[in-house]
Amino acid sequence: DTGVSQNPRHKITKRGQNVTFRCDPISEHNRLYWYRQTLGQGPEFLTYFQNEAQLEKSRLLSDRFSAERPKGSFSTLEIQRTEQGDSAMYLCASSFAPSTDTQYFGPGTRLTVL
Amino acid sequence: QKEVEQNSGPLSVPEGAIASLNCTYSDRGSQSFFWYRQYSGKSPELIMSIYSNGDKEDGRFTAQLNKASQYVSLLIRDSQPSDSATYLCAGSPNTGGFKTIFGAGTRLFVKA
């Protein structure tokens, strides 16, 4: 499978715990995006990488959220001290700039905070 | 005011009809616009991208952009039940697709 992959697909955690999600983009893609989507809403931009550089982080993202993309390959999104309001689908997408801005989405990680 | 606004629907059309989906955006700096389709429980997939004023056609889909009116639309001709999904409109400040802002989506039902 050469598409974007995300792990785990589902995560249930208790409030206050830390969670980490992984995204593996399409291999030649240099841009990687993280989004959060709740029921009935469109994906909400969280952060964006060009290669290993994190170029923008949403002002809506609290300090409990951090993302990394070491060596410009896979990326991780960590949420510290989870809250019930963090329950959502976390989507990763990748694209190859500048030849195309088509973002290919992964299947997402569904987080449930109890 | 939301940056990208869509009617949440649901929009219901009979099979074979034209479905018309609309979107407005507030950021005049937006240069690139996208329509994504999202089936229930799945991730979004790109249908069309449009950058210039006017129409862009791809098979049964036509995207229309009017930057003066800050308006984007998607027409689906010969609608099929398999087109039933949520359609997400998105905009980006440059042609690189950087920081894409999505609308909440319009649910489309195509009745057989």
**A72-88 tens-digit pLDDT:** 899 999 999 999 999 99
Look at residue A66 in the predicted model and tell me its pLDDT.
94
The verdict on a CB contact (< 8 Å) between A43 and B46 is: no
A8: preceding bond cis by omega (within 30 degrees): yes
Distance CA A51, CA A31 (A): 6
B93 confidence band (pLDDT: 50, 70, 90): confident
Q: To which residue do tokens 């290993």 refer?
A: A52
The verdict on a CB contact (< 8 Å) between A102 and B97 is: yes
Kindly list the distances between the CA atom of residue A21 and the CA atoms of A52, A70, A80, A90, A92, in Å, as whole numbers in the listed order.
17, 14, 12, 9, 10
The verdict on a CB contact (< 8 Å) between B97 and A43 is: no
Query: Which site among A103, A104, A109, A110 would you substitute to test the B interface, given the most B Cβ atoms closer than 10 Å to its Cβ?
Result: A103
Nearest CB among A41, A55, A91 relative to B104 is that of A41
Segments of chain A scoring below 50 in pLDDT? none
Q: Is the predicted pLDDT of residue B95 greater than 60, yes or no?
A: no
